[in-house]
Amino acid sequence: MAMRNIHYSSIAIVVLIVSTAFMVPTRVSAIGVCYGRVGNNLPPPPEVVALFKSNQIDRMRIYEPYPDVLAALAGSNISLIVGTLNQDVQRLALDVSAAQNWVKTNIVPHIGNVNFRYINVGNEIIPSDMAQFILPAMCNVQSALLANNINTIKVTTSVAMTVLGASYPPSAGDFTVAAKVIISPIVHFLAANEAPLLVNIYPYFAYKDNSKDISLDYALFKATRVIVQDGNFGYQNLFDAMLDSVNAAMEKVGGASVGVVVSESGWPSGGDFGAEVNNAGTYNQNLINHVAKGTPRKPDPIETYLFAMFNENQKGPAELEKFFGLFFPDKTPVYPLKFT
């Protein structure tokens, strides 16, 4: 979830070009789930992997390279996004050997056993003072992968919607002036390497903060008519409008060819306004059913990761952060979902 800070500096960087192709998802379903671990009562990783498999969830996002999770994933063929810790990004940027050691420790031993898809260098660091280190860290990690003859894992970063200075109508989507300085060279790196940008999108927070103007049906994919007409594009749900505002912003910085992966989206089942079990179940099921259709601006399947696998009792500070889980820690569902 979004970090809020506003000052950072720009950098110059040499874009590293590699020849391997970014694998566009070919399945109709492109749904994964984020496996957060901020709780003291969660099941052990082998049981979590089994729960993914029994529910036919074949994509996972983790926020750091937990050795026990990587061990549990061996042979599962679950496609994985693995993150670096935010506090490690500066070190990975400034010390080439640190990036080499990170890859040697966390990736190399698992090649052939774990199905790595993306390495996510920094989660929601833009905007912050640390943003200037994201791209050089990405380049160093990319170089370390190539030095180990690994050219199938894409290196990227994830951002929150706070990087946008304009989002309505969706075609007006544009990055803030400050964010654009950081994101533009990142987008060129992603384009050169045919990798996507990861974006965390939460219609829930837009609805909660502006429920007088945003209807619950529009936020939950339940609207029966076009709510926002934007030129030739008509929007019946808030998720598409938010995602297309990012797509429009990407086009404005030369990223029309860069895919956008929704690396987090979800709805809490308790803890605040509109955070109810019925709303959470409706949002997540409708999101699962919707992503194969794409958006009005980009009608292609949207690779999307639901947040999160479990209710996590140590998250905060907001109470609602404890209630984004699809499952309780005892592995029973918070509400029924069909993932396929």
Active-site residues: which are they? Answer: 124, 264
Tokens of 14: 């040499």
Separation of CA 191 from chain center: 18
Residue 119 near residue 82, CB atoms below 8 Å: yes
Separation of CA 49 from chain center: 20
The single-letter code of the amino acid at 237 is N
